[in-house]
Structure formats: C-alpha cells, structure tokens
Chains A and B, each alone.
Chain A
Amino acid sequence: GNSVTQMEGPVTLSEEAFLTINCTYTATGYPSLFWYVQYPGEGLQLLLKATKADDKGSNKGFEATYRKETTSFHLEKGSVQVSDSAVYFCALTPRGGSNYKLTFGKGTLLTVNP
C-alpha cells in the first residue's frame, strides 16, 4: 500500500534559520505529492504540490522537489519567520484510476522563535 514517512519533530528554530523537513514515500506508479500546513486552530491548507518527477513546487518561500530516484519530497525554506510556526503534513495521492485518497504523514510541528 501507499505510505508517507516524515520527520516527526518537534522542530524548533530561530527566526531566519534554514528549514528542512524530510519526507519519503512508498507508492506504486507515479503519485502526486503535497505539502499541507495547519496553523494553530485552523484546518489544513495546501502549501505546495508536484505532480511528476523533478517538478519543484513552491509557495511563500517554501520549496520541495519531487525526487523519484530517492522517493522523496523534502520541504525547505531558506529563512523561516515566526509566522511559519505550524504543523506541516506531507501527503500523496495516486495518479489515475479510481483510488484518489490522500495518504498523509503524521505531521511535523515547527516552532519558530524570535
């Protein structure tokens, strides 16, 4: 079956530090890959996505590259802000067919201190 493994954290950084949250996946075929973010007290919202190998998703200074050879989709940001404090979820969905369920990682809590 499909699965997503991400570093569980919590991750605590100072403002302007570099962020990496690792995510690897197991899936048949060529899934679409996502990063969702959940700010305190809110639901999840899409941060970025990539639908094929070597695609780079980017948004709000965050980036992730779809690496088929290493089955990875690591999230990076060059300089984090206090407002980036949130829980980050890596997820995948199979392409094609009738199975379109999202499979999530367990989430990584990021706290950014001023």
Chain B
Amino acid sequence: DVKVTQSSRYLVKRTGEKVFLECVQDMDHENMFWYRQDPGLGLRLIYFSYDVKMKEKGDIPEGYSVSREKKERFSLILESASTNQTSMYLCASDSHGQGTDTQYFGPGTRLTVL
C-alpha cells in the first residue's frame, strides 16, 4: 500500500514564526501536492511538484513556499505564520504520468497560529 506520512498531526505556532510541514511518500511517485482544508471551502491546492526541484503554484500560493530536494519528500514552508493560516494541511502524491491518476493522502496536520 502507498503510504504518505506527515511530520506532525497537530502543531501550534505563534504569529511571525517560520513553520515547516514535512511530507514523505514511499511509492516513488513523481507528483506531490499540498492542500489546505477549511470548513465550507473544501480543499484548495497551495503548491504541487512534478519532479525533484520542480514546483508550480496552485490556487492559493500566497504566504507559502515549498521545497523538494528529494523525490520522496515535499516540504511546505510558512515564512512568517499568520492567524489566517490556521487550517488543516493535507499532503498527497500520485504517479499520474505512469498510468494512474489516483492521489494518495497523508493524515493531515492541523496547524493553529496564535
């Protein structure tokens, strides 16, 4: 089974802190994604990566950056956390280019910014 893990289930940070959310997948997938999930808004794509060191902005990239130095790891960075970034963050991966278009999700990180 595909496994996507996220570094923390719950995180509490203060306004202005730099925050790192880590995601690791074990199925050699090319594509990795970061979403945020908010009540009434569903899932919104922040950034995605289709290869090592490659990234593309999603629908809501403002206030975030990403890093993909190794194929299995995709990091989401909040350079200066703000209260409106309090949310559930979900990481996903897939191998779309290899004949399957199913995304596999991690368990999520619930981030609270005080």
Contact = CB atoms under 8 A, between A and B. Distances in A.
Given A89-B42, A100-B96, A106-B42, A49 B105 contact: no
Interface size of B as a range: 20 to 34
Given A98-B50, A107-B42, 20 more contacts: A32-B101, A34-B102, A36-B105, A43-B4, A43-B90, A44-B43, A44-B90, A44-B105, A46-B103, A46-B104, A95-B101, A100-B31, A100-B97, A101-B33, A102-B33, A102-B45, A105-B42, A106-B40, A106-B42, A107-B43
8 closest Cβ pairs, A-B complex:
A106-B42, A43-B105, A100-B96, A44-B105, A43-B107, A104-B43, A43-B108, A104-B42
Interface in B18-47: 31, 33, 40-43, 45
Contacts, number: 47
B43 A93 contact: no
Nearest to A8: B40
Interface residues of A, number: 21
Interface string B88-111: 001010101100011111111000
Contacts of B104: 46
Contacts of A36: 105
Given A43-B106, A45-B105, A106-B40, A101 B48 contact: yes
A42 interface: yes
